[in-house]
Amino acid sequence: MAPRTFKNRVRKQSKMAESAMGEVVNGFPAETESGTPMPWFGMDIGGTLCKLVYFEPKNISPDELDSEVEILKKIRKYLIKNSSYGKTGHRDTHLQMDNVPLRGRKGTLHFIRFPTSEMGNFLILARSKGIATLVSTVCATGGGAYKFENDFKKEVNMKLAKFDEFDSLIKGMQYVDAHNPTECYYWAEPTDEKKCCKMNYDLSNPYPFLIVNIGSGVSVLAVYGPNNYKRVSGTSIGGGTFLGLCCLLTGCNSFEEAIELAAGGDNTHVDKLVRDIYGGDYQRFGLPGDLVASSFGQMNSRDRRSKVSREDLAKATLVTITNNIGSIARMCALQEKIDRVVFIGNFLRVNPISMKLLAYAMDYWSNGTMKALFLEHEGYFGAVGCLLQFNEHS
């Protein structure tokens, strides 16, 4: 007989919980070889941010409550009661999705993020909550699912069920869009500050479309059907580049600060425009005078450098990175003969400047033939998608 240790008791409880509730009835995934599954978590561990999606089942019956492992109960309470965790963990309460179905249950999806650089502290916190005693498995995607696999095993006795980041991204997008009628939108009149507004877009018949995922780096995927896509391109000049350069140039210390600075700046003090070169438009090739001809092109002048503000530098950095991504997106869309481009990734978080720029650039340079689309849960699709795939994997 197994010794009566705490670990064995928890194991036994979780076994009892499973057999009492049954896989089909409650939708908990089957127990894996490694022990208890952490049933409702999906984690996307990226180069900058770790995204954690938690599904809270509705109407937990008294029997289920009784048989739920004490530690899981505590974790659930901790996550739901708080909207910030330590100094750097945040729950995006405005993105919460209520009454959505998952594996035969209805419940609430919660969206949590923290910097990947805090992974060590996250593991210490998870350990302090008793996770290591569960011998559990969690669904994970993103590069960190590979990079941190051994740390999860060593620090919290947790096995990672790994899923590909782009499979997860696409599955997550399809699921979230299907369950949130206002998920997809575009920017109408993106250059007119007064008239500009978000408009709902029906993405129920999406194929083919292009995904431009702007994370630390940028990946471009062409999606032809629910299980048919390819990664057509990518660039290392992405969200990480914006934040890195902005910190270097302005001394700012966070993404939020960088965006706030950019919102108060003027990139034309930093960039060289077509009119700085031509004195007006370059009519023959349709280049308007206010188009950026050379990003940061004024900064070779000592005099100009002495006059620019941190805000101007932040704005110029944002515009440079965004326009470059827009240009790559347009070329990919042209090459793949696709006219709808969905921009996602946390670079677009609290960042209407970039969204409007992308909306305008896609429309202008394609003569109105291409459309830039955006999704409310911009950075969370990988985490949702890997949570959805758990059954298939186990």
Ligand X SMILES: Nc1ncnc2c1ncn2[C@@H]1O[C@H](COP(=O)(O)OP(=O)(O)OP(=O)(O)O)[C@@H](O)[C@H]1O
Residue among 48, 141, 219, 317 that touches ligand PAU (CB under 6 A): 219
Q: Report cis status (omega within 30 of 0) of the bond before 288.
A: no
Closest approach, Cβ 212 to ligand PAU, in A, equals 10
Which option in ligand PAU, ligand X, none does residue 349 bind, with CB closer than 5 to 8 A by kind? ligand X
Q: Applying CB under 6 A, does 234 fall inside the site for ligand PAU?
A: yes
Bridge partners for 50 per DSSP: 45, 114
Asked whether the beta carbons of 347 and 156 are under 8 A apart, the reply is no
Q: Applying CB under 6 A, does 215 fall inside the site for ligand PAU?
A: yes
Which option in ligand PAU, ligand X, none does residue 385 bind, with CB closer than 5 to 8 A by kind? none
Q: Applying CB under 6 A, does 42 fall inside the site for ligand PAU?
A: no
The string of DSSP codes covering 36-67 is EEEEEEEEEE-SSEEEEEEEEESS--HHHHHH
Query: 218 — alpha (psi -120 to 50), left (phi > 0) or beta?
Result: beta
The footprint of ligand PAU on this chain (CB under 6 A) covers a number of residues equal to 11
Looking at the Cβ atoms of 13 and 216, the one nearer to ligand PAU is 216
Looking at the Cβ atoms of 118 and 165, the one nearer to ligand PAU is 165
Comparing C-alpha atoms, which of 44, 12, 104 is closest to residue 378? Answer: 44
Asked whether the beta carbons of 144 and 362 are under 8 A apart, the reply is no
As a whole number of angstroms, the distance between CA 103 and CA 99 comes to: 13
Q: Applying CB under 6 A, does 216 fall inside the site for ligand PAU?
A: yes
Stretch that binds ligand PAU, among 58-66, 155-163, 230-238, 270-278 (CB under 6 A): 230-238
Q: Report which residue's Cβ sits closest to ligand X.
A: 46
Which option in ligand X, ligand PAU, none does residue 255 bind, with CB closer than 5 to 8 A by kind? ligand X
Closest approach, Cβ 390 to ligand PAU, in A, equals 21
The verdict on whether 165 is a catalytic residue reads: yes
Closest approach, Cβ 269 to ligand PAU, in A, equals 30
Longest dimension (CA), the chain: 88
Looking at the Cβ atoms of 57 and 215, the one nearer to ligand PAU is 215
Q: Catalog residues that contact ligand X under the rule CB under 6 A.
A: 46-49, 115, 142-143, 215-217, 239-240, 242-243, 255, 345-347, 349, 379
Closest approach, Cβ 254 to ligand PAU, in A, equals 20
Which option in ligand PAU, ligand X, none does residue 236 bind, with CB closer than 5 to 8 A by kind? ligand PAU
Q: How many other CB atoms are there within 10 angstroms of residue 26's CB atom? A: 19
Catalytic one among 31, 68, 165, 336?
Answer: 165
Looking at the Cβ atoms of 14 and 219, the one nearer to ligand X is 219
* Residue 318: both structure tokens together: 């944002």
Residue among 205, 236, 306, 367 that touches ligand PAU (CB under 6 A): 236
Secondary structure letter of residue 251 according to DSSP: -
| Close Cβ partners of 188 (under 8 Å, ≥ 6 residues apart) | 195, 196, 197, 198, 199
* Residue 184: both structure tokens together: 């997809």
Backbone φ and ψ of 349, nearest 5°: -60, 135
Task: Give the CA angle between residues 54, 91, 156 to the nearest 5°.
Answer: 55
Looking at the Cβ atoms of 174 and 219, the one nearer to ligand X is 219
Looking at the Cβ atoms of 146 and 224, the one nearer to ligand PAU is 146
* Catalytic residue numbers, as ranges: 165
